[in-house]
């Protein structure tokens, strides 16, 4: 591998790892053709360079498609978005906010003629439709710089590659085995409280809504906790074991398809590593549930207010 390719590998990998985007990262199996690679791209066409003097916005998308292990066909970027998270970074203050959007939120779809569940946006028009739908939901105050999308296999593989993630599991998981909504997938003995999860269990916890009273809202919040757990583990890995770090970077690079320029990837990676987990706020768009033409859905309470808040400086006041 040439010095430039090595640098691209390191920059891109550190960017992904340190940002904690565990819903959309890939594992080693893609090299053998078993898993689709994670896609990391500019959010908008044309010549674009992110400014490090103002907030940076990344849309992290976990897709329910393109996952052989869980019998999900197709490609991640043309499935439904199982998890949707805005990652807003304030470069000056070295702080970040994760805003989760419940996948069943009933909203106007940018590429459709009528409202629908937001997770259908990507199915109808790929990531560009989901990006535009959320930007519209913010009243035009948020404009994404980048997006990342991947499937279930990607999350599981990468969490395992970094040695797992530590999160505080909320009470609610009622049994040692929890169905993951797939035919042959069970999470073994997830322990309530602060616990270390492997990739399989991290995926199960991130997807579980049936064991919690607030359903989709709790699931979205838990996904944010896994993101922060990934950031914590990535920083620990980079700091304490350079040897393992290089192997991790090599694994990431073999699983990433990106058009991010070298200099931007490097700067984003270094910036992300400077953000301490306590300086990352995890929140989500709140609301209630109700019946809609799309079935039982999440009805958001004033999402524009929350998104306008974070659009200003990437921080929830």
3 state SS for 272-299:
HHCCCHHHEEEEECCEEEEEECCEEEEE
Ordered alpha helix ranges (H), 97-178: 120-137, 152-161
Distances (CA, A) of 291 to 102, 116, 217: 16, 12, 16
Q: Is the separation of the CB atoms in 280 and 21 below 8 Å?
A: no
The predicted pLDDT at position 138 comes to: 97
Q: What is the dihedral of CA 65, 296, 134, 201, to 10 degrees?
A: -50
Q: Which residue has the tokens 């998270």?
A: 85
> In whole angstroms, what is the distance from residue 122 CA to residue 116 CA?
12
The predicted pLDDT at position 287 comes to: 95
**Distance, C-alpha 179 to centroid of its chain:** 22
Per-domain boundaries in the chain:
3-311
What's the predicted TM-score (pTM) here? 0.83
Instruction: Give me the average pLDDT of each 10-residue run along the chain (317 residues).
Output: 51 45 34 59 77 90 84 82 94 96 95 90 94 97 92 84 88 50 46 88 86 87 93 83 61 65 74 89 95 91 94 91
- The superfamily CATH assigns to domain 3-311 is LCP protein (3.40.630.190)
> In whole angstroms, what is the distance from residue 161 CA to residue 155 CA?
10
């Amino acid at each position: 591998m040439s010095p430039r390719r090595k640098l691209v590998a390191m920059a891109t990998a550190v960017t992904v790892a340190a940002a904690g985007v565990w819903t959309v990262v890939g594992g080693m199996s893609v090299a053998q053709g078993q898993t689709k690679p994670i896609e990391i791209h500019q959010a908008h066409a044309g010549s674009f360079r992110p400014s490090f003097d103002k907030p940076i916005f990344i849309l992290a998308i976990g897709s329910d498609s393109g996952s052989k292990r869980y019998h999900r066909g197709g490609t991640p970027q043309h499935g439904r978005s199982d998890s949707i998270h805005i990652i807003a970074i304030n470069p000056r203050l070295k702080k970040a906010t994760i805003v989760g959007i419940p996948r069943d939120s009933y909203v106007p779809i940018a590429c459709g003629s009528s409202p629908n569940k937001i997770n259908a946006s990507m199915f109808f028009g790929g990531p560009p439709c989901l990006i535009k739908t959320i930007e519209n939901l913010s009243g035009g105050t948020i404009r994404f710089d980048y997006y990342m999308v991947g499937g279930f296999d990607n999350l599981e593989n990468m969490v395992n590659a970094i040695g797992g993630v530590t999160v505080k599991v909320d009470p609610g998981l009622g049994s040692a085995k929890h169905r993951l909504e797939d035919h042959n997938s069970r999470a073994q003995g997830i322990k309530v409280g602060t616990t270390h999860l492997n990739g399989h269990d991290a995926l199960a916890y991130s997807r579980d809504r049936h064991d919690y009273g607030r359903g989709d809202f709790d699931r979205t919040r838990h996904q944010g906790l896994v993101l922060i757990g990934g950031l914590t583990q990535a920083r620990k890995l980079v700091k304490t074991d350079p040897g393992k770090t290089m192997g991790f970077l090599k694994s990431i690079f073999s699983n990433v398809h990106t058009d991010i320029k070298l200099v931007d990837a490097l700067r984003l990676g270094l910036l992300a590593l400077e953000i301490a987990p306590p300086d990352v706020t995890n929140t989500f768009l709140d609301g209630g549930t109700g019946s809609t033409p799309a079935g039982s859905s999440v009805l958001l309470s004033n999402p524009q207010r929350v998104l306008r808040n974070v659009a200003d400086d990437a921080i929830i006041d």
